[in-house]
């Protein structure tokens, strides 16, 4: 979601002083019995690529399906009785919405969550089920945020920012404490960065207790606000953001986490959409874990440069809330990026049995045909020509090349 700054209810985070590990420890006590200590799973496949042990910190298995409930609960728990009586309000297309809804419900606080009109129905339903009043407003998250802030001004409800408050950062930092407890030999922690709350919180906890551990942040190339911001020395706003990874689709770093990330996070890397798709597919196939694109970003970084990380490595899978329709598209994209799915067009002579002959060639090279589109009437085609579009299931890049070669050797003109 796009970043907004300042709290219209007047309860913004105070001027930044250094957030301490004691604040993270206090947050950990507050979260006792609320947030789960999520599993740490080893990955033999990633370990083989990196040449050192790689562990997956499964915040996708956290309550509400992401780490967001940690910061939201600590933030709301810190409100005064008067503020709680006024209720809380948030804006989100997914994870933050559900985290605020559950946290408020557990604390007996009324919550209102603004979500975009096009928000996935499963996320809207889950937010309602956790106890929030959901209001659909705006086509994009920026419009939704403005509506939530206006609601806060009009009603006195406390606006709960997804990352730009020290209580939220402290709450997210409890993930770092758990990592050190579950994997004391860790040398590198890789975590996705949107606004920066999770990475900042983890860095505060880990660097205070284990300054030798390297913390690496990961952003999607199409929403990488931190590299230019760190270069400029202050948060800068991206003109546009475009990525499938909604959880880290943020156009401006948060003021509170920005300084922490600049001081304590060792490196910020970026990953492409193809790498995100491949990472999500790997998590599903190899680790048997449903992970959303933002949650898979640390795995994408490991896949893109496995030689760049000193092990043992812990990759934080920050969330698993992915719309089934988006999952379908992402998996197809990931399969194509991994050479597991091949689309191509070719021309053949339009005569009886021509299509059967083509399918016979594909059968010989063991390519599984998923879909065939056969076009005979098109101004581009000659009188005796037909065009066929094929969608094939393949076994990897080498198999894709083998299929193309077999088709060309059989006399077909492959156009895509």
How many other CB atoms sit within 10 Å of the CB of residue 256? Answer: 25
Tokens encoding 226: 């931190």
Q: Residues 9, 47, 278, 318: which is the catalytic one?
A: 318
Q: How far apart, in whole angstroms, are the C-alpha atoms of residue 274 and residue 169? A: 30
DSSP 161-213: -SSSSHHHHHHHHHHHHHHHHH-TT--EEEEE-SSSHHHHHHHHHHHHH-TTS
Tokens encoding 86: 């006024």
Q: How far apart, in whole angstroms, are the C-alpha atoms of residue 99 and residue 91? A: 11
Q: CA torsion 112→114→120→121, rounded to 10°? A: 40
Q: Residues 68, 123, 214, 249: which is the catalytic one?
A: 68
Going from the C-alpha of 366 to that of each of 345, 358, 394, the distances in angstroms are 18, 13, 8
Q: For residues 310-327, b (16+ Cβ closer than 10 Å) or e, as one string?
A: ebbbbbbbbbbbbbeeeb
Going from the C-alpha of 355 to that of each of 56, 303, 323, 348, the distances in angstroms are 47, 39, 37, 8
Q: How far apart, in whole angstroms, are the C-alpha atoms of residue 261 and residue 293? A: 22
Q: Which residue(s) pair with 220 in the sheet?
A: 271
Q: Does 68 qualify as catalytic in the annotation?
A: yes
Q: Does 278 qualify as catalytic in the annotation?
A: no
Q: Which of 341, 340, 337, 354 is nearest to 388 (CA)?
A: 354
Could you give the maximum distance between any two Cα atoms of the chain, in Å? 80
Tokens encoding 16: 């930044």
Q: Which residue(s) pair with 349 in the sheet?
A: 385
Catalytic residues: 68, 318
């Amino acid at each position: 979601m796009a970043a907004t700054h300042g709290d219209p209810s007047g309860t913004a985070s105070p001027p930044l002083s250094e957030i301490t590990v004691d604040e993270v420890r206090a947050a950990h006590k507050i979260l006792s019995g609320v947030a789960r200590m999520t599993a740490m799973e080893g990955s033999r496949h990633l370990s083989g690529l990196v040449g050192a042990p790689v562990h997956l910190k499964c915040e996708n298995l956290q309550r509400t399906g992401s780490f967001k409930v940690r910061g939201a609960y600590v933030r709301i728990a810190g409100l005064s009785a008067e503020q709680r009586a006024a209720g809380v309000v948030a804006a989100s297309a997914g994870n933050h919405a559900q985290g605020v809804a559950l946290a408020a419900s557990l604390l007996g606080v009324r919550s209102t969550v603004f979500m975009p009109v096009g928000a996935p129905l499963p996320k809207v339903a889950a937010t309602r089920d956790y106890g929030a009043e959901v209001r659909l407003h705006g086509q994009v998250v920026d419009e939704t945020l403005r509506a939530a802030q206006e609601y806060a001004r009009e009603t006195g409800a406390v606006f709960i920012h997804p990352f730009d408050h020290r209580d939220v950062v402290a709450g997210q930092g409890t993930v770092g404490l758990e990592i050190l407890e579950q994997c004391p030999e860790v040398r590198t922690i890789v975590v996705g960065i949107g606004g920066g709350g999770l990475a900042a919180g983890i860095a505060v906890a880990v660097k205070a207790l284990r300054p030798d551990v390297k913390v690496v942040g990961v952003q999607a190339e199409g929403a990488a606000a931190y590299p230019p911001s760190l270069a400029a020395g202050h948060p800068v706003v991206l003109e546009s953001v475009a990525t499938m990874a909604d959880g880290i689709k943020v156009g401006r770093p948060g003021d509170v986490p920005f300084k922490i990330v600049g001081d304590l996070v060792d490196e910020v890397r970026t990953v492409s959409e193809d790498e995100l798709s491949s990472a999500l597919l790997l998590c599903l196939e190899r680790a048997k874990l449903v992970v959303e694109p933002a949650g898979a970003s640390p795995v994408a970084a490991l896949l893109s440069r496995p030689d760049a990380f000193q092990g043992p490595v812990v990759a934080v899978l920050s969330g698993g809330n992915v719309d089934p329709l988006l999952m379908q598209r992402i998996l197809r994209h990931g399969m194509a990026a991994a050479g597991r799915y091949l689309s191509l067009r070719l021309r053949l002579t339009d005569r009886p049995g021509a299509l059967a002959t083509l399918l016979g060639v594909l059968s010989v090279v063991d390519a599984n045909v998923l879909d065939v589109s056969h076009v005979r009437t098109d101004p581009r085609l000659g009188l005796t020509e037909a065009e066929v579009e094929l969608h094939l299931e393949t076994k990897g890049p080498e198999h894709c090349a083998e299929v193309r070669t077999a088709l060309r050797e059989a006399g077909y003109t492959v156009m895509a």
